[in-house]
Amino acid sequence: MGYFQNIKLENYRNFNNFEIDFCPECNVFIGKNGSGKTNLLESISLFEKGRGFRKDNIKNFINNKNNKQKFIVSSIFISKNARINLSLFNQVNEGNLSKKILVNGNSSKDSLQYFESLFSLIFFLPEMERLFLSNPSVRRNFLDRLIFNIDKNYNYLINQYKKNIIERSKILKNYKYDIEWVNSLEKKIADLGIQIYKKRLNHVNIINSNLKKLDSYNKYSYKISISIEDYLIENTDKNINQIYEYYINQLKKARKLDAILGGCKIGPHRSDIIGLNIENNSNINQFSTGQQKTIILLIILAQCKFLISEVKIKPIIFFDEVCSHLDIENRELLLDLIESLKVQTFITGTERNFFSFLSTKGPYCNITSI
């Protein structure tokens, strides 16, 4: 089991100097709104690829109160009794701020890839309560995040796809473009798009399959499944092998419209992830906020079970402000997540009594009093 043993923040967000030790299992942070609970979780998430779960600008991580231009996040990660020293800070790269990670003082690609292979972060954020009421991009990002847990190169695939979409859009705005150039770009877009479709469809099947295996799943009167709603998939009878040629043809047909409107009207960037109650085929967006929270927690539990049993990785879980709309059923489900998985978990909230259902299963830290 891999876990973060501690963390030290220097000049990070609202923290000047802050250090705390963590428990290998459940950790609870209490504090008023604005005290820095989410900032603390975000600092841990920066040890993954990218800019943390907020995806914020690097410059916003720096606490400017002391007129310093650098933040530092340090931690010790324990994996199979091995201590890995981690350091993370900002640096100037080609005139822009970027994130730098050192693993045991080393920034080589091999060192970073080794560390990345040791853990995966899964998080529940307050806005996820309305996941099935949000816009499709939020749901796509949610599914893509689950895929990233098992495929650390997935974000590169997504970024390459977006890069080619943007390049095609720029070329189409110039009506005197090279046809062969656009043809080549559209083949790249279709190839990358098909890879994304395959990974998403495969992971939807993984989630649905693992949902059915959960003991918690059978406690509820409704049974849920998720699926992908997409123009290309629906018009090829959901046969991924038939999509490629159809995809290419649709991209060609859409050139004039895409030149006027910008972007690209078809592809996985237009997909939606929908949830259905398979008992009556009703959309989950009609459920109450509490029921939608239950469904997200069930999906997280299914994802975690899959990671542990099939991928052989014990994830680290963040539950930020999870206690709103936490009815008895959701408390039991959250407790089941914590007790059955036995992985490192971080939970935040504004009041200690919100966590009475946890009993003494984890240390409490009052961020406000620090």
Chain segment 260-312, per-residue pLDDT in tens: 999 999 999 999 999 998 888 889 989 888 888 889 999 999 999 999 999 99
Residue type, 369: S
Residues 203 and 61 in one domain: no
Residue 126 lies in a domain: no
Residue 217 lies in a domain: yes
Cα distance between residue 25 and residue 6, in whole Å:
13
Residues 265 and 321 in one domain: no
Residues 241 and 197 in one domain: yes
Name which of 145, 276, 292, 285 is nearest 223 in CA terms.
276
Residues 154 and 284 in one domain: yes
Phi first, then psi, for residue 284 (nearest 5°) are -65, -20
Residue 192 has pLDDT above 90, yes or no: yes
Residues 94 and 143 in one domain: no
Structure tokens at 215: 């003991």
Of 264, 279, 313, which closes a domain?
Answer: 313
Residue 361 lies in a domain: yes
Residues 278 and 249 in one domain: yes
Residue type, 187: K
Q: List Cβ neighbours of 353 (8 Å cut-off, separation of 6 or more).
A: none
Residues 345 and 308 in one domain: no
Of 313, 331, 349, which closes a domain?
Answer: 313
Angle (deg, nearest 10), helices 179-213 and 154-173:
150
Helix (H, G, I), strand (E, B) or coil at 74: strand
pLDDT at 233: 87
Residue 347 lies in a domain: yes
Residue 212 lies in a domain: yes
Name which of 183, 179, 198 is nearest 243 in CA terms.
198
Taking the model in full, what pTM does it have?
0.91
Query: Tens of pLDDT along 108-136?
Result: 999 999 999 898 999 999 889 889 999 99
Buried b (16+ CB within 10 A) or exposed e, 323-361: beebeebbbebbebbbeebebbbbbbbeeeebbeebeee
Residue 8 has pLDDT above 90, yes or no: yes
Residue 73 lies in a domain: yes
Q: List Cβ neighbours of 29 (8 Å cut-off, separation of 6 or more).
A: 37, 40, 41, 346, 347, 348, 349, 364, 365, 367
Identify the domain containing residue 9 by its residue range. Answer: 1-119+317-370
Residues 146 and 197 in one domain: yes
Residue 201 lies in a domain: yes
Of 295, 313, 331, which closes a domain?
Answer: 313
Diameter over CA atoms, the chain: 69
What is the CATH classification number for the domain harbouring 361?
3.40.50.300
259 or 364, higher pLDDT: 259
Residues 171 and 293 in one domain: yes
Residues 115 and 172 in one domain: no
Q: What is the count of structural domains for the chain?
A: 2
Cα distance between residue 233 and residue 242, in whole Å:
9
What is the CATH classification number for the domain harbouring 176?
1.20.1050.90
Residues 92 and 228 in one domain: no
Residue 125 lies in a domain: no
Angle, vertex CA 147, rays to CA 73 and CA 267, nearest 5? 120
Residues 250 and 277 in one domain: yes
